[in-house]
Structure 1
Amino acid sequence: MHTILPFFLAMIAAIVLLGMLAKKLKVAYPILLVVAGLLVSFIPGLPAVKINPDLIFFLFLPPLLFEASWSISFKEMKKWWRIIGSFAFLVVFFTALSVAVVTNYFLPGFTIALGFLLGGIVSPPDAVSTGAIMSFVKVPKSTVAVLEGESLLNDASSLIIFRFALVAVGTGQFIWHQAALTFLWMVIGGVGIGLLLGWLFVQAHRRLPTDAPSDIALTLIEPYLLYWAAEQCHSSGVLAVVSGGLFMANRRLAFLSSTSRIRGFSVWESFVFILNGIVFLLIGLDLPEIVEGLRANGIPLRTAIQYGLLVTGILIVARIISSYAAMLATIIFRPGVVPPGTRRRRLLMPILLGWTGMRGVVSLAAALAIPVTLSDGTAFPHRNLILFITFIVILLTLLVQGLTLPYLIRYGRLFDGYTDEPEEVALQKLRKGLKEHSLQFLRARYENDNEHHAGLQLLLQHWEEKMKASNDSWMTGDTKAIFIELLESQRQYVVEYNKDPAVNEDIVRKQLFQIDLEEERLRMQ
């Protein structure tokens, strides 16, 4: 314990420092963390870091998926649901099938079941890596929405493939009709359990006398409860977390106070950053143990690297082919939703989408979750080779695709002249409408009290002067109640404003956060 604790504290400190360095270098922090973990793994005398395979999913995936479902724009997901669904399900299955066929042909002793197992592990792109890289470049919100929506759902589809393949490897057989029924239950049951528990959690927050610390504590345990309940019912824990998280995220204004939302945002941001950092460091730290396992199995390191290069190439090619197929299908069947642009942009866009397939957290978690032995006590076939190939895939996609993607976007000029409204202009437009709404609300609601309420007159003047008043001594209890009521009306205005399909939801969320901050400042006076 006294040896491991300082090591983990040093890991967290390294994650924070590397995150700072990544921002300074304008590099996605997962890339630096993986490289750092790889370099640190060669330092002699370090304690071995081992995680129980049965707990890896439960420890890391639920909170990461839950936070992602709260961050994504549900409005954009609904708008682009066709292409998101095709990438999250069809492309993942096509990628896993491609990996299964090729590895069955080229890797000695690799069955189709083992190929699907490996395909399910490495098929889902990593949301954290893609999001970190996209923050350094300017891309249309539609592209970001597709990538975020895909990354939120493809984890579920890939892990379903992984689970079926794991059963096939363990039993040596695969019964299609049973698999189809099981698949339906995993999807329907996972979504249903997530929605049911999400509704119950919302009611608990509403009806219990919670405050900000208790609200935040509840949100920290809720993803684990969602995942555990679904897994106990033999459905998809991932889909339960995603559906429950989306349900709660779209009702956050109804059951969380402004204080809970503000403080919870900071807590979750730090919590998820540390979790991601630990996983990416583990990717590098696990390499020596994996290499030792290869040597014990008599597989030359050079041969294993070649296998990793082969699988990485399959993933990239399969994703690019799928991107072109998705665009062709959209042009043929849904020409009205084809993104506008030149022929050159339409031809190169699938390459960009194909090049965004960096692998990371989910792939590592799935690989480490492979049991060491089968049910009969024999060693799991090719476990160390699968782990090593997964490591090579993660490393290469992060380094090669991750480092080159910003340059591909920037120098390929794919988004030159795209029509997204500048964020500053959109924010000014929203705030102007909000000020007009505030004045109309006060005048309509308290028109009869205006002449006899000094605080209300100053409140009106406060908004007429564009919220630049510096003296808050007039803020009595009655005036504060009116101001809080006004802020709630502003929230409703912003929510209605967001119903316009052309409105960027990121701008709306920033303004809602500003309203929360204003209410928090007001309550502390």
Structure 2
Amino acid sequence: MHTVETVLLVLLLGAVTGIVARYLRAIPLPLIQIGLGAALSWPQQGLHIAFDPELFLALFIPPLLFADGWRIPKREFFALYRPILTLAFGLVLFTVIGLGYLIHWMIPSMPLMVAFALAAVVSPTDAVAVSAITRNLGMPAQTMHVLEGESLLNDASGLVALKFAVAATLTGVFSWTEAAKEFLWIALGGLGCGALLGWGFATLRETVTRRVGDVAATQMVLLLVLLPFAAYLLGEHIGVSGILAAVAAGITTNFADLRRGEFVAERMQTEGTWTMVESAFNGAIFLLLGLQLPSIVGRTLEAAGGHWWQPALQALGITLALLLLRWIWLLLGVRGALWRAHERGKLLEQPSPLLTLATTLAGIRGAVTLAGALSVPLLMPNGNAFPERHQLVFLATGTILFTLIIGSIGLPLVLRRLPPAGEPDSVREERQARLVACQAAIAAIGDVSAGSSERQAPLQEALGRVTQDYRKRMDLLEEPHLAITPEAQADSPESVRQRRLRYVVELELRLKALHAERDALYGERQAHRINDASLRALVAELDMNEVSLGKRLDVARHAAGLEPVKKHQGH
């Protein structure tokens, strides 16, 4: 099969599995995609792809890491930097040393440096798989921020450790001093390279769009999509971490976006584009893992002869040891930092044995582990085969599968036993920000002057309607235990709830009317009474109104003690 056909097929299957996962909620999406990929490639005449690890790293990893750096809440990331750095760098070193010696003890035929290479391969975690498993299960928000920050940074530390272990195997020489110097150069150089490139792009974009406005929105979004590839390739070209360069470029670009509040078209296009890119590339990664799985398993079982159960038990043993080391590190190396963050108010959830267990089970391995394992060279400098390479790839793949399965089963069980977290800080802060925005809007329209006596009456009438609408929003944004208005302080709870229910019904009626508007517009187009351009412009306006109404309805239903509305199909 040609490369173009393969890429299109993988993207198609990624989209299809995403839809299937909506109906099979008990099975995480990554497992569905791996299973489908394995089913497609297992038969003799199945789909087989020649896997190029360097191409895989350059094509799939940069945009996903860039998107993670772009989306991750920066305030929480910097507030929780101590536990994040302790996990991203300290745990990787602890894992490489501890697990490396354990693997060498379990599998004496595997040289120590190769065992270190395998330990380095399985050290990076995959926050994408964790979020796919824990979606709607109540993983505490700030714990998830720690896991995302860890995953952003430990990809680089794990791959750098792998690089040193492979180099030591190839040359037979290893120096801790040289390794430390090289690591600092690779890590800091990658962060600096990505930050400079992101800052340069932001400056260029600012210069262009300040001059031409949103006219160039589509072109700027395209350049933004290409930015992670540029950061990765430039980092690799100058000998630093391309992965950290992509992450730093994403973080820097997000900071620059804080000054671009007026560019609505560009912002909407960017959000939609990145949502599509992340969905497509995440699906492709796990499908490719499934497509490689039968050949990896086949070669290992063939080498094991009749003792097929041995490599499977070895992979399970490595997985359990990996999770045990993670649990120990969380107790000894991270728990203190988490407690201090909790006492300072930076970590809402209090560290507990159950939360530590959930964080341990969230150490799921994924795409970077697969790419790192397959990047191990086939041959030594003397032409001999790289020692135990097939076994290394199999054990790394088995670790991915076992961590996914254990996390899929264990995380839901543990998270259901965690005490209710209450209202997250982010929800309260969002409500307060909405209140401030409404107050600013009322103040702004209150300063409007009629300009002429003829406009005075219409202005007062319009001002009353708009102000009333904003005050209705503010009523629903008040803390649930407060009365809706100062005049209603003495109202009974039932009276307050009835007033909120009336507002919910009003918003639902507005949404129903908006849906009818949209249906009528499509009917006008089908009857050829308006053209496509008019239809797109009118529907885009309704779509933005629907997003606003939908958010207000969610807040209103929450305040009234009702369940949130499930996302609709069709409307």
Q: What's 1:242 paired with?
A: 247
Q: What's 1:226 paired with?
A: 231
- The equivalent position to 2:328 in structure 1, one of 321, 346, 350, is 321
Q: 1:364 to 1:72 in 2, by over 3 A?
A: same
State how many pairs are aligned: 465
Q: What's 1:483 paired with?
A: none
Q: What's 1:305 paired with?
A: 312
Alignment of 1:60-71 (within 5 A): 60-71=60-71
C-alpha deviation, 1:387, in angstroms? 1.0
- The equivalent position to 2:419 in structure 1, one of 415, 418, 429, is 415
Letter in 1 for 2:436: G
Q: What's 2:477 paired with?
A: none
- The equivalent position to 1:463 in structure 2, one of 461, 466, 472, is 466
Is 2:434 the partner of 1:431?
Answer: yes
Letter in 1 for 2:136: F
Cα distance per residue 1:163-197 (max 9 Å; x no partner):
11121122111122222211111122111111111
- The equivalent position to 1:211 in structure 2, one of 216, 222, 245, is 216
The secondary structure found in structure 2 opposite 1:105 is: helix
Is 2:285 the partner of 1:279?
Answer: yes
Alignment of 1:72-221 (within 5 A): 72-208=72-208, 209=212, 211-221=216-226
The secondary structure found in structure 2 opposite 1:138 is: coil
The secondary structure found in structure 2 opposite 1:239 is: helix
Say if 1:53 and 1:371, in contact at 8 Å, map to a contact too. Answer: no
Cα distance per residue 1:211-270 (max 9 Å; x no partner):
122111101111011111111111111111111210111221435822111112111111
Aligned counterparts of 2:247 and 2:342: Cα–Cα separation in 1: 30
Letter in 1 for 2:197: L
Q: Which segments of 5 or more consecutive residues in structure 1 lack a partner in the other structure?
A: 472-525
Q: What's 2:38 paired with?
A: 38
Say if 2:126 and 2:366, in contact at 8 Å, map to a contact too. Answer: yes
Say if 2:114 and 2:169, in contact at 8 Å, map to a contact too. Answer: yes
Q: 1:442 to 1:392 in 2, by over 3 A?
A: same
Aligned counterparts of 1:233 and 1:141: Cα–Cα separation in 2: 37
CA RMSD, aligned part only? Answer: 2.9
TM-score w.r.t. length of structure 2: 0.75
Q: 1:463 to 1:159 in 2, by over 3 A?
A: farther
Q: Which segments of 5 or more consecutive residues in structure 2 lack a partner in the other structure?
A: 471-506, 515-571
Say if 2:342 and 2:348, in contact at 8 Å, map to a contact too. Answer: no
Letter in 2 for 1:436: Q
Say if 1:96 and 1:116, in contact at 8 Å, map to a contact too. Answer: yes
Aligned counterparts of 2:271 and 2:383: Cα–Cα separation in 1: 46
Q: What's 1:17 paired with?
A: 16
C-alpha deviation, 1:67, in angstroms? 0.7
Q: What's 1:53 paired with?
A: 53
Say if 1:323 and 1:351, in contact at 8 Å, map to a contact too. Answer: no
Say if 2:120 and 2:158, in contact at 8 Å, map to a contact too. Answer: yes
Aligned counterparts of 2:235 and 2:426: Cα–Cα separation in 1: 42
Aligned counterparts of 1:25 and 1:318: Cα–Cα separation in 2: 32
Aligned counterparts of 1:278 and 1:341: Cα–Cα separation in 2: 34
Alignment of 1:240-389 (within 5 A): 240-255=245-260, 257-294=263-300, 297=303, 300-330=307-337, 336-337=343-344, 346-389=352-395
Letter in 1 for 2:24: L
Q: 1:422 to 1:217 in 2, by over 3 A?
A: closer
The secondary structure found in structure 2 opposite 1:250 is: helix
C-alpha deviation, 1:64, in angstroms? 0.8
After alignment, is 193-202 or 247-256 more displaced? 247-256
Aligned counterparts of 1:115 and 1:371: Cα–Cα separation in 2: 15
Say if 2:122 and 2:369, in contact at 8 Å, map to a contact too. Answer: yes
Say if 2:361 and 2:410, in contact at 8 Å, map to a contact too. Answer: no
Alignment of 1:382-401 (within 5 A): 382-401=388-407
Cα distance per residue 1:112-168 (max 9 Å; x no partner):
221221111111111111111222212332212111211111111111111111211
C-alpha deviation, 1:288, in angstroms? 2.3
After alignment, is 347-356 or 328-337 more displaced? 328-337
Say if 1:84 and 1:149, in contact at 8 Å, map to a contact too. Answer: yes
Q: 1:17 to 1:194 in 2, by over 3 A?
A: same
Q: 1:374 to 1:296 in 2, by over 3 A?
A: farther
Identical pairs, percent: 29
Say if 2:142 and 2:349, in contact at 8 Å, map to a contact too. Answer: no
Letter in 1 for 2:466: W
Say if 2:41 and 2:47, in contact at 8 Å, map to a contact too. Answer: no
Aligned counterparts of 2:85 and 2:459: Cα–Cα separation in 1: 51
Q: 1:115 to 1:452 in 2, by over 3 A?
A: farther
Aligned counterparts of 1:450 and 1:167: Cα–Cα separation in 2: 81
Q: 1:427 to 1:453 in 2, by over 3 A?
A: farther
Cα distance per residue 1:269-316 (max 9 Å; x no partner):
111211111110121211222134335655653222122111111111
Letter in 1 for 2:316: L
